Amino acid sequence: MIFPNLRMRERRKDEEVRRQLRQTAALTQRDLIMPIFVKEGLSAKSEIKSMPGIYQFSAREAVGEAQRLYDTGIPYLILFGVPKHKDETASSAYDERGIIQEVIRSIKQKLPQLVVIADVCMCEYTSHGHCGIIKKTKEGFQVDNDQTLEILAKIALSYGNAGADYVAPSAMMDGQVKVIKEALMKNNLAKVKIMAYSAKYASSFYGPFREAAESSPRFGDRAAYQMDYYNSDEAILEAKLDIQEGADIIMVKPALAYQDIIYRIKDELNFPLACYSVSGEYAMIKLAAAKNLLDEKKIVLEILTGFKRSGADFIITYYAAEVAKWLKETR
C-alpha cells in the first residue's frame, strides 16, 4: 500500500509525539548489570589504566561499591576475582575462603536483595592464563574440555554455596552449562540460576579486561575455544545448546560489533537474553570522551538503547553506574 502524501515527519515532529510512537522501551536502571573487579590482598582501590573510572577493589571496598550501586537502583552486579595465588588448576577459584566467595557472602549479608552474579572461569586463576586445563600435544598445547568441566562445576558450586544468585560460565567449554546445572541440582542449590556466556567470540575487544583481571594468556590465544567472528549460525546453535542444558539467561559477547547476533538470537529463540558490552567498547568511548571528541552521555545512551532495540533484555556494561546517575538527572 502506498500513501503518496504520507507525512512521515508528523510522527517525529516534537518530543511528545516521538515519545508516543517509540517502539523500544526507555532504558532504565533495571536493564543494567555492573561488573566489579575484586583483588585479593589489595589495600586500596587501583584504577585500571586502559579503563579510566573502573577499579580493582579490595574485598571491603567491593562491598561498599555494591552498596553504592544498589542505591542507584541497579539490581545486578557481576563479580570477577583476581587471586593472590595462581596455579595450573585454578585452585584459588574453588577455595571456600577465596576472594569471590568472601565477597559474595559479605554482599549478600548486607544487601540480600542485590542480585549477585559470579563469573565462572579459570583464566584469572591459572598461572598460564587460559580458561581451562592445559595439555601438551605434538603441535603445542590444548585446553582439555572434559577435565576443565570438572573444575568449572566445582567453582560454580562453591560460588553457589557462598550465596551467589547466578553463576555465569564464560570458559566456552562444551557442556559447561550441563555439568554446572547438574552439580547445583545434586547439591540442593536449584535456586542458583545460570547466566550462560553462550555466544562468546574470540575478540580483540577484551584487551583492557585482561589488564583488569590479570588474565592474559601467557602463550597462544583463545581461538580454539571462543567463537570465530565470521560465524553467526554457530551462535544460534551455541545458544540453543545452553538452553537445553539448563541456562536461565543466555548471552552474546561482545555487543557493539555483534548486534546482528543479538537480534538473531532473540528473534529465533525468544529467551531471556543479555549482551556484554565489553572492556574495549568502554575504553573506546571513555578515551574519546576524555579528549572531548564526542558527547559521552548521548553516545552511551544511544548505544545502550541500540542493544535493547536489537533484543537484549540485560546489558552488562562498565557504564552501568554512570548511566544510572544520568538517568536520575534526566527524570
User: Which residues are designated catalytic?
Assistant: 200, 253
Residue number, 56 or 279, with CB nearest to ligand PBG: 279
Q: How far is the CB of 175 from ligand PBG (least distance, A)?
A: 17
Question: Does residue 307 interact with ligand PBG by CB under 6 A?
Answer: no
Identify the residue among 72, 170, 176, 198 touching ligand PBG (CB under 6 A).
170
Question: Does residue 119 interact with ligand PBG by CB under 6 A?
Answer: yes
Total chain residues near ligand PBG (CB under 6 A): 11
Residue number, 210 or 240, with CB nearest to ligand PBG: 210
Identify the residue among 198, 259, 279, 317 touching ligand PBG (CB under 6 A).
279
Which three-class secondary structure string do you get for the chain? CCCCCCCHHHHHCCHHHHHHCCCCCCCCHHHEEEEEEEECCCCCCEECCCCCCCEEECHHHHHHHHHHHHHHCCCEEEEEEECCCCECCCHHHHCCCCHHHHHHHHHHHHCCCCEEEEEECCCCCECCCCCCEEEECCCCEEEEHHHHHHHHHHHHHHHHHHCCCEEEECCCCCCHHHHHHHHHHHCCCCCCEEEEEEEEECCHHHHHHHHHCCCCCCCCCCCCCCECCCCCHHHHHHHHHHHHHCCCEEEEECCHHHHHHHHHHHHHHCCCEEEEECHHHHHHHHHHHHCCCCCHHHHHHHHHHHHHHHCCCEEEECCHHHHHHHHHHHC
Q: How far is the CB of 254 from ligand PBG (least distance, A)?
A: 7
Residue number, 6 or 223, with CB nearest to ligand PBG: 223
Identify the residue among 27, 74, 121, 177 touching ligand PBG (CB under 6 A).
121
191-230 binders of ligand PBG (CB under 6 A): 206, 209-210, 215
Residue number, 131 or 199, with CB nearest to ligand PBG: 131
Print the binding letters for residues 57-96 with ligand PBG: x by CB under 6 A, - otherwise.
----------------------------------------
| Sites of contact with ligand PBG (CB under 6 A) | 119, 121, 123, 131, 170, 206, 209-210, 215, 278-279
